[in-house]
Structures are given as C-alpha cells and as structure tokens.
Structure 1
Amino acid sequence: MEVQEDKEEKKKSNLMSPEGRSSVMRVLRLVEPEKRLLLLAMSTIVVTTPISLFFPMAVGKLLDVATTADPIITPVTVAGALLVVFGLQGLMMTTRDGMLTVAGERMAARLRRQTFEAVLRQDMSFFDETRTGELLNRLASDTSVIQKAITNNVTSALKSAGMVVGCTAMLIYTSPKLALVSVLVLPPGGIVAVYMGRFMKRKQSEVQDALAKTSQQAEEVITSMKTVRQFAREANEAARYGGMMAETRQLATSVGIANTLLGTGIHVAANISLACVLGYGGTLVVAGEMTAGVLTSFLLYSVYLGFNVGSLSGIYGDLMKAVGASLRIFSILDREPSLPAYDSRHTTELGARLDDFNGGVEFKDVVFRYPTRPQSAILQGFTLKMEPGQVIGIVGASGSGKSTIGALLTRLYDPEQGTVLLDGHNVKDLSAEWLRGVVASVPQEPVLFAVSIADNIRYGRLDATDDEVRRVAEVANAHEFISRFPDGYDTFVGERGMQLSGGQKQRLAIARALIKQPKVLLLDEATSALDSESEKLVEQAIERVSHAGMTVVKIAHRLNTIRDADVICMVVKGKVEEKGSYAELMKSNGAFKQLVKNQTSDYH
C-alpha cells in the first residue's frame, strides 16, 4: 500500500504529468497580484542579456585591434564602451533583484496567510491525524521553495534561456563549423540533466518530509522539557533526534551527491566541448581562416553557453522541488472541512443564531467514534436532557466518554448517529461561531498563550474592557493572586502559561470562559490535577458560577466536586447508566454508589 502511494505521489510530482502541469499553473496564478512588478523585473532581461552577449565580441575585437593597430577602434575605445554598458547592466540587475525581492516576499506572505487560514478552518479530525511539525514545515519550508521558484528561478530561467539562444546564435554567426563541433556534446548532457532533476525532486520531497518529522520531535521535546528533565531523558531524546537527523542527513546527502554529479557532468561536457573547439579553432587560425580574436570570442560564447545550460538544469531541479512543495500546500488549501469553522472566504454566516437561547441542552441516542479510532465506539446511544439553569454532574470511569460529551456540545465533532440539541434546535443547523460563543469550556489542562494575563482572559471576548476583565477575575478567584504580581494584569505568563501554577492557570481559564457571558458552561475535570488548596479556590469560583443562572455541566473524576449538582449522570460504556441527585443515587445501590465506595476506600 505504501509503495503504491509513493508511486502515486511521484506521478503527481512529475512536471510532465497532468497533476504536475496543473500545479505549475496554480503556482503561477499565485503571482497574479505581483504581475506588473514581475513583468517589469523580467523586462530588464531584454537589456542585460544583449550586454552579456556583447562582452565576448568586444574581447575578440580588442585582441584583433591590439594585434592589427586599427587607427579608428583602439583598445581604450573598446574598454570605455564596456565600462558604459556594464554600468547600465549593473543598474538594471540591481533594479531587477530589488523588484523580485519585493514581489517574492509579498507572494510568500500571502501564500503563508492563505495556508494558515486553510489550517484554521479544518475540522478536528485533521489535527488528530496531522502532526504539528508537518504543518509548520508546510508554512515555513514549502512556501519558501515555491517563493524561490516563481521569482528568482523563473527569472533566472528566462535569463539563461535567453543566453542559450543568444549564445547559440552568436556561435553560428561567428563560425558555423566550430558551432557544430561545440553543440555535439549538448544533447546527451541535456538528457542526463532532465533525469537527474527528476531524481533530485523525488529525493528532495523525502528530505522535506524527514525534516518535518524532526521538527515535530524537537517541538515535542522542547515544549515538554519539564517532563524530560524530571525523568532524566535528555540523553535518550538527544539520541532519538540524532537518529532522525542521521536519516535526514543521508537523504540530503543523496540529493547533494546527485547535484554534484550533475554539475560535474555538465562541467566535463563543457570542457570537452571547449577542448574540441580549441583544437579545431586553433587549426583554423593557423590556416588563416579565422583570427585569434574571433576564436577567443567563440570560446567565451561556448563558456557562456555551457554555464547557462548548467544553470537551466539546476533551475529545472528547483522547479521540480517546487512542484512537490506546491502539491503539499494545495492539498491543505483544497481540503474542505467536514464541519463548519472559521472561513475568511465567506462573508455570510453559515447557520442560524438563537436570539432567545435559554441554555437547554439535549443529547438524543448519540453514537460517536473518533475518526482516528473508527473501530471503538465511545458513545453508544447516549441520551441526556439538561434543563436551562441546571447544574449537571457527569461521572464515570476513564474512557467512558465523559469528555467526548463536551467535544460534541461545542461541535468539535459531529455524532455518527443521533442529535445534539440546544433549546430543541439541532446544532448542525446553528452557526458554529454563535454556538461557541454561548457555550464556554474549561478543560482539565487549560492552554494559555504567551501574552499578558489580561490578554489571556480577554481571549474569550476581544472587546472586553479592563473593568470586565477584572470583574470576571474576581469571580474566578484570580484577582488576588494577579494583584500580587508587580505588573498585575500586564504580567507575561510565558509560553503555554509556564510561569503560573496549575491552580492559577485553571482560575484564569475560568475567567476566560466567564467573560464570554455564556449560557452553558462546561467544566471538564477542572480540579482533578490540582492540590487541595488550589482545588478549594477553584471550587469556590465554580460554586459562584453555578448560581449565576447558566447551565453548568461538571465532568468530574473527584465525586465530592459534584455532590451539590441538581442532577448527576453515571456514564458507563458510552451510555447513561444512572441519573438523579447525589442522595437518590446513593440510595439506589448501583454503579454510582460503588464508584463512591471505591474512591472513599482509595482515599483511606
């Protein structure tokens, strides 16, 4: 299967294949906004190429003038003319390079933004299946490869192609006999260049994939450095990274060797051509059929021709790499998510909003499997109705499907069967943006961003005022510890909030959820990883929230945190096994009571 997929990928990456040609056309369309700037940059080739072609002729003329003592055209005259045209060429080349840099950076920024937006609108199954390092590699490396291809490489290709045509024409004009000798070695070299370019494209694609894996591993270790350090696994991680880099190095080395062989082959072919030209040309000079200056010009044109043919072969290899990179980028741009999400391409909102939403939630016969684990049904006929303003406790063993309920409620996934309803309306018919505005979630391990405390709280509602931020912090029992920091609400929390304790991060997560002014609040084991003091403070915050008129869903592992819930649901194997108040369930002598006994015995 993997072999077949690899063959298919190689076929698509072939520049001559329909997929390859389609990819090239799409890449070229990316530069449409920069078309004028690029055309202006490329137009300078019309001036710089003839100047380059003028140089060999000028050198030959200079030699002939020096040996014949021409009274009209002197060596100083020729050198002066060269200075003028080279100055003009330098000015044009500087202008061209500047315009290419501006156009390339604009295009790369636009492509990265489009790719990033395409990533943002993907459904959660995409992120379940795709490694973070791979996505980062697409944003950074692949876009750079494409940028180089459609700016520098395209312009270089036009310049080299112009030089090849011009040099060939000048060789024929200078001496048809020598021109025939010099070009005999070019066809074999061209064929080798094409095949070597394809080989390098395939290998470079493998190098990019290997680099993505190493980036993922490095990111994983660096973001988990505390765990690595606590288990003294630095040496193991270094060895694992070294092994992955060794594999990447081997792949990159094969590309480098192929590139070296290609360059060496072209260099040898060019030298053979020059040797043949020099031998036969020298014979013509001795016979008086050609001057030394003309032979020198011819040799220089031959050198120019060989150099630009070699340049074209290298450019072809880079273009093949760009085709492979563009296919990976376009696979993201073209992927349509199965669930509605952020999409900058749509000006109208998808789905309805409920102006009078009261906070009623209902699950009806829900069956769900995670896309990455289709063989395991997490929820199997899950049914539960939550009345507006109720506090619902959901308990059960690990893997029973508790957290999945929250994922379906915020529509990170859709159920395989059954429905999720808000005030009787199917969530599939509602605006996803509106839904996630009225339902707030506090996860077990909240993620904070590397900005200030105020900005992390305001992430829940970007237009919140400073007073609103402070008020929700007070409700979440966070204002006191925030005030103890020298910078207060402007305190930088560090990457993923690493400068804060677990309890502090949890209380900020509660404040961030509350500032949305939600109708439904989902607390997913919000205190399970905290010490007793932090748990007490977070519980006090939750207690305040629970009497604020919103529907509160407490997914809990520690049963004491849901003792005062209006309704407690015992989830077993993806179904509601028991439902009732704490007192009612303790009288039933069922699974919930057994769970309470087990936890009580564990604590003692």
Structure 2
Amino acid sequence: MTLHCLPSTDITELPATVSNSTENPETQTTAPAEKSAWKTLSGLLPFMAPYRGRVILAGSALLVAAAATLTIPTAFRFLIDRGFSLPANVATDASASATAMADSGIAAGQVNSVFLGLFAVALILALATALRYYCVSWLGDRITADLRQAVYSQVLRQDPVFFETLRTGEVQSRLSSDTTLIQSLIGSSISLGLRNSLLFVGALGLMIWTSPHLASIIVGLLVLVVVPIMVFGRRVRKLSKDSQDKLADTGALANETLNAMSTVQSYVRENMESDRYSQATNAAFDSAIRRNRNRSYLTALAITLIFGIIVFVLWLGAQAVIDGRMSPGLLTQFMLYAALVAGSTGALAEVLGDVQRAAGATERLLELLHAQPAIASGKQSLVASSTADVAGLGARVDFNNVNFSYPSRPGEQALEELSFTIEPGQTVALVGPSGAGKTTVLQLLLRFYDPRSGSISLDNSAIDSLKLNELREAIGFVSQDSVVFSDDVYANLRYGKPDATDEEVRQAASDAQALDFIERLPDGFNTYLGEKGVRLSGGQRQRLSIARALLKNPPLLLLDEATSALDAESERKVQMALERAMSGRTTLVIAHRLATIVNADRILVMDEGRIIESGNHQELLAGNGLYAKLASMQFNAAEFHPAVEAVRVANSPC
C-alpha cells in the first residue's frame, strides 16, 4: 500500500503473482455458474468476521483520512477569496497592500492560523493513513493465513477421487499464488478502493454544493463513461482467469517433472522437458500480455474520458469567472474537487483490475474450500463394537457381495460379487495376477472408496457406519511404496503414534529389523532423512514404514507387498518381525512372492475381481489351479532363493 495525501493518478501494476490451474477438463473441479467479481469475493467475508474490531478501526481511520482530504479545497477557497484577492483600485506598493488587507478585515495572523490549520489537517491525514495501512496490512496477512489453513485442511480430508481429477501441483499453486493475490487485494487494493470511493462520493457531493450547474454536467457525462469501463472490466476478468489457468500448467508440469528427475535423466529427456516447460511458460506469457494489454486499454480509456470531461467543465468554469458569475476561489475549490474525482476514478479503474484478478483466484480457492469428500464419516464409535479387539484377538473382517468400479473407470468392474470372512487373529493372504483387485480390497477397507453395492464389516459393524477416524486408527497400513517424510527418524516413526515414548519407538524399530541401520546413521534417531527419505535405501525406507505401522499397534494390519523392496537377507529379518507382529491381530497380506505367505492361515486367489480359489498353501498346491501355476513359475524362476527353495524342499515328495 502507498500513502497519499492526495490521490495519485499514476497507474501501477501490483506484483503479478498469479495462481495455477489447468485447461485440461479432466483436472478441473466442477465450475460453478459465473458470478460477479464482488459476489465471488463475498465468499471471503466469513474469514473477516472474527476480526471485526480491526475492520472497524481501519474503516474509522479511512473515514477520518477521507474527511481530512476533502477539507483542503475549502481552505484554499477561503485563502484565495478572502486572503489574497485585493480590490482592483488598490495600489501595488507594499504599504498600500497591507492597508488594503487590513481594511478588508483579514489580518496576517488569520492567514497564519489558516496555514496552521492546514498543517493540522495534514497531520491528522498522515496518522489516519498510517493507522489504516497497518490495520489493512494486518488483515491481509491474517486472513490469507487463515484461508490457507482452511483450504489445506479441507484438501487433506478429500478422498482419492478428488486427487484423480486435480493435480497436486495445482493444489500447491492455489495455496501459494492465489492466496498471494488475495493478500494483495485485502491488504492493499480494497483499502485503496474504499478510500478512493469515499473521495469520489465526497468530492462529487462537494462539487455539486460548490457549483450545481457545472457538477450536473460532469455527472451527466460520467454516466456515459461507466458503460465502456464496465465492458472492458468484464473482459479483463476473463483474461485474468485465463492467465491464471495458463500458469497452472507451468506449475503442475514443473512439479511433475521434478518429482520424476531420475526417470527424466535416465532417459536423457532434459531438453525435451525444458522445451515443454518453455512452451507452457510462453503460453502463460502470451495470456498475461493479452490481460495487461486490455487492462492498459481500460486504464487509458477511463483516464482519457474522465479527464476530458473535467477539462471541458473547467473551461466552462473559467468562462464563468471571466464573466463574473463565479469567484476565483470558488473555481479553485471546484477544480480541486474535480481533481479528487478524477484521481479517485483513475485509482478505482486500477483497483477494478486487481479486483477482477483476485476474484478469479478467490473462485479457485473457494472451489477447494467447498469441495466435499464423497466418503462421509459414520456416527458409530468403533470402541463400543470392537469386542474382539478388547479380547486381544484382533478384528473380524467381512466382505459380503461387494461390487466396485473406480470412479475414473466406471465401465470396468474392479471387484465383482466379492465375499469372504477373516476371523479375529487370522492371517489371510491375497494373491493373483496384476489387476486382479487385491489392492482395491485394502483401499475399500480403509474407506478410500465405498463399494457400489454389497457391504464391508469390521467386528460386525458396517464400516460406513463407523466414525472414519476411528476406523482408520484401528488399521495399520504398509504400502509397497514406502513413504518417508522430510524429517528425522523419530518424527517419521511417531507418525504412527504421536505420543509414543522413545522406548516404544526403539522397540518398533527393533521389531522391524531397522534398529541396527538407524543407530549407524550420523545422528541416530535424530538424523534428518531428506525429502522422501533420499538418504536411505529402498529397503531401509520400507523397514521404517513397517516400524511405523507396528508402533501404531492396530487390531487390523494391512500389508501391500510390504517386503517388495527388501533384499533376501532383509526380507528374512522383516518376515520374522512381521510374524511376531501378526500375533494377536488380524492381518491381510498382499503378496507376489509366494514364499512370504506359505504360513498364512488362508490364501485367497483372485482374478478379475473374483475369488477363484481359497485354502492354505498345501491345499492350493494340491488343487493344481492358478495358485499352483504361479508357485511353479516362481519356483522355477527363483530356485536359488533360500526361502523358495525351502518351500520347494518341504513340499517335495522325495
């Protein structure tokens, strides 16, 4: 924000940090019906409500500053008409002038008091403007922080369908660039807009009081100016949103590429990715140029029309002074008020452009803020129903005629009439070819999605009737893609149990066969692991993920190929740890390495979303079905793998 005693007619561009979206329809959230900029911005009012005191204080300072500014022209009129205007027959020498001044009833002391009054007005204006600046800047920063927190919190509660249709890079951009536009609007543009609106209305009213005839001419001509300004204003808003959308492509593209640098470099595609980014940035630049060009047209049009009107009316006023129908002081007062009207109008034209841009950013943020997850939490508490868990036996799981298709692929059946039961304390493995629906089963248990038909129960309670946070607290999940946060080891492990003691953390690490390598790190458990755990090997990251799940100590453990990233020695150690961890809880395991699930209580063989075989390892081998075929392929392909060889020997008829 800039501090002005009198409004400036200079048109300056605020920092053009714009947000990211995308033109791809598959990456757009549902677009609401187009609304006016001010109606869109009204969505920010709930964020201003808690700070009414600051808003009132800023508004009061704004009124005082505007009133102080509007008193200045009247003071100049008084000085010119009563202090500096001499009778025409007075001599020009100093003594005669002083005598005339005395005769006219104005003493030098009165003139001095007027200037002292002007200085007092300027002081009031300065203090009020400074107070307004502080208050609105504080509001801009505070509301922007609250908005970011609210949007981010809402995004965290969305289901996977949301992230199938909106790239994470775009979400990040909206949280940063779009909120920066809103911060600029609240902390600067809105204040300037209100200030200049008050000056416009006040100066226009005082113009009418000063000279109704000249003011009526200005008002009549200003009405004709509004129409073209509004037309250009709408166009600027559309172009501003288009510019934001174009920049979304650059942000999402950069985010995607930087997260796949190893692939980019291994395929030697640096130049290709650089070209793609250049094309996206040039497209954003072209869109920004169109926006700025039209905004320049809007500013030039507003200033030209308004100043043209004022110059014409002032010419009429000069003619009135020449004819003796108006005093010089009155014309000076009218001219100053006209200058205030012109300056405030030019500033409002600039603010209008900022408002249009911020409206587009607000619309995109409100889309995220108002997005509702398809997965709604139930009301039933899991504690009351988890009798099996109270007994320390783990949870009971029931799938009953479950049918499911992914929202992004509604015509493709992922699960079809799937039914099975896992008793408390059992270890059940899911095997089958890729795309059979194994991971889908785990995602439905975690309620990342809901089935299209059928039901899923945990301890005889339908999971869609349970409180979502309690359901997920009762489940430990280890995915095949190990997740490590850019923090130290303690923070990564305590993600499973934030209030865990150091001893509990160490025990979980030991159970996951991770304690040895952790203690060899430079700072042990306090070692910073880097973004996505880049300072660890794949096997080490996987063991941290397993330790995190063990620390959570849930009644139901889901393992999605949890040993896929481990070498043979680490796999053997982790398998032993998992066997201890499985004791006293229900475990559902997805396995491609059949050697890791030979001791499972039951193995469910899936294909095309159906269970086609069920039994333990020996029963399924004897059945000579798909499981036996998969086992035969693995035994032949990995005959030197110690675990597989042990299974083969154990089942050999010799």
Letter in 1 for 2:398: E
Rounded Cα–Cα distance in structure 2 between residues aligned with 1:415 and 1:233: 41
Moved more, 429-438 or 62-71: 62-71
Which deviates more, 502-511 or 322-331? 322-331
Q: Does 1:279 align with 2:301?
A: no
- Alignment partner for residue 214 of structure 1, among 250, 254, 259? 250
After TM superposition, the structure 1 = structure 2 runs for residues 199-598 of structure 1, keeping only pairs within 5 Å, are 199-340=235-376, 353-357=385-389, 358-546=394-582, 548-598=583-633
Candidates 107, 131, 135, aligned match of 1:72:
107
Secondary structure of residue in 1 paired with 2:552: coil
SS in 2 for 1:394: strand
- Paired positions, count: 591
Gaps in structure 2 of 5+ consecutive residues: 1-23, 87-96, 640-654
Paired position in structure 1 for 2:67: 50
Secondary structure at the aligned position of 2:128 is classed as helix
The CA distance in 2 between the partners of 1:285 and 1:174, in whole Å, is 14
- What is the percentage of aligned positions where both structures have the same residue? 35
Bigger mean CA deviation after superposition, 586-595 or 198-207: 198-207
Distance in 1, matches of 2:491 and 2:32, equals 46
Report the Cα distance in structure 1 between the residues aligned to 2:273 and 2:422, rounded to whole angstroms. Answer: 47
Offset, 1:268 = 1.2
Paired residue secondary structure (2:107): coil
Shift of the alpha carbon at 1:355?
Answer: 4.3
1:13–1:324 contact (8 Å) kept in structure 2: no
Q: Which range is displaced more, 291-300 or 247-256? A: 291-300
Aligned to 1:156: 192
The CA deviation at 1:571 is 0.9
SS at match of 1:356: helix
On the 8 A contact 2:41/2:359 being kept in 1, the answer is: yes
State the alpha-carbon separation in 1 of the partners of residues 478 and 131 from structure 2. 55
Q: What is the letter of the counterpart of residue 54 of structure 1?
A: T
Select between 589-598 and 309-318 the one with higher mean Cα deviation: 309-318
Aligned residue in 2 for 1:34: 51
Distance 1:118 1:282, change over 3 A: same
Quick one: which amino acid aligns to residue 274 of structure 2? A
Q: Is the 8 A contact 1:456 1:512 kept in 2?
A: yes
Q: What is the identity, as a one-letter code, of the residue corresponding to 1:445? A: D
CA distance in 2, matches of 1:399, 1:406: 14
Could you report, residue by residue, the CA deviation over 1:475-525 in whole angstroms, capped at 9, with x for unpaired residues? Answer: 001110000112111111111212211111100000100011112211101
Q: Quick one: distance in 1 between partners of 2:535 and 2:377?
A: 32
Q: CA deviation at 1:278?
A: 4.4
Specify the code of the residue in structure 1 equivalent to 2:446: T
The answer (yes or no) to whether the contact 2:377–2:466 under 8 Å persists in 1 is no
Partner of 2:508: helix, strand, or coil? helix
* Match for residue 189 of structure 1 among 225, 250, 254: 225
Q: Quick check: 305-314 or 59-68, which moved more?
A: 59-68
Which entry has the higher C-alpha Rg, 1 or 2? 2
Write the distance in 2 (CA, Å) between the matches of 1:584 and 1:529. Answer: 29
Give the letter aligned to residue 559 of structure 1: L
- After TM superposition, give the deviation of residue 424 of structure 1 in Å: 2.8
Distance 1:488 1:466 in 2: 12
Q: Distance in 2 between matches of 1:9 and 1:522?
A: 37
Q: Equivalent residue of 2:413, what SS?
A: coil
Aligned-partner SS, 1:94: helix
Q: Distance in 1 between matches of 2:611 and 2:220?
A: 82
Task: Tell me if structure 1 keeps the 8 A contact 2:197–2:344.
Answer: yes
2:388 alignment partner, SS class: coil
CA distance, structure 2, for counterparts of residue 122 and residue 207 of structure 1: 27
Alpha-carbon offset, residue 341 of structure 1: 5.1
Higher mean C-alpha displacement, 67-76 vs 209-218: 67-76
Give the stretch that moved more between structures: 382-391 or 258-267.
382-391
**Which stretch shifts more, 452-461 or 233-242?**
233-242
- 8 Å CA contact retained: 1:13, 1:323: no
Question: Which one-letter code corresponds to 1:35 in the other structure?
Answer: R
Alignment CA distance shift 1:29-1:471 (3 Å): closer
CA distance in 1 between partners of 2:377 and 2:503 (Å): 31
Structure 2 counterpart SS, 1:579: strand
Find the counterpart in structure 1 of residue 7 from structure 2: none
* Matches of 2:630 and 2:388, distance apart in 1: 39
Residues 59 and 297 in structure 1, CA contact (< 8 A), matched pair in contact too: yes
What secondary structure does 2:334 align onto? Answer: helix
Contact 1:10–1:202 (CA under 8 A) maintained in structure 2: no
Distance 1:320 1:155 in 2: 15
Relative to the length of structure 1, the TM-score reads: 0.90
Bigger mean CA deviation after superposition, 125-134 or 571-580: 125-134
Distance between the aligned counterparts of 2:557 and 2:143, measured in 1?
A: 43
Q: Deviations over 1:347-392 (max 9, x none)?
A: x969965243332222222211111111111111222222222222
Q: 1:522 to 1:494 in 2, by over 3 A?
A: same
C-alpha distance in 2, partners of 1:50/1:431? 57
- SS of 1:535 mapped into structure 2: helix
- Provide the TM-score with structure 2 as the length reference: 0.83
Deviation at 1:565, TM superposition (A): 2.1
**Are the structure 2 counterparts of residues 225 and 184 from structure 1 closer, same or farther at C-alpha, using a change threshold of 3 Å?**
same
Moved more, 303-312 or 445-454: 303-312
Task: List runs of 5+ in structure 1 lacking aligned partners.
Answer: none
Alpha carbons 2:387, 2:459 under 8 Å: kept: no
Name the amino acid aligned to 2:453: Q
Return the letter of the residue paired with 2:602: V
Letter in 2 for 1:570: V
Q: Secondary structure at the match of 1:381?
A: strand
SS of alignment partner, residue 30 of structure 1:
helix
Give the C-alpha shift of residue 256 in structure 1. 1.0
Structure 2 residue aligned with 1:12: 34
Shift of residue 603, structure 1, vs aligned partner = 4.6
In structure 2, the CA distance between the partners of 1:26 and 1:350, relative to structure 1 (3 Å rule), is farther
Aligned Cα root-mean-square deviation (Å): 2.9
- Contact 1:27–1:146 (CA under 8 A) maintained in structure 2: no
On the 8 A contact 1:123/1:341 being kept in 2, the answer is no
Distance 1:83 1:120 in 2: 55
> Offset of 1:298 from its aligned partner?
2.7
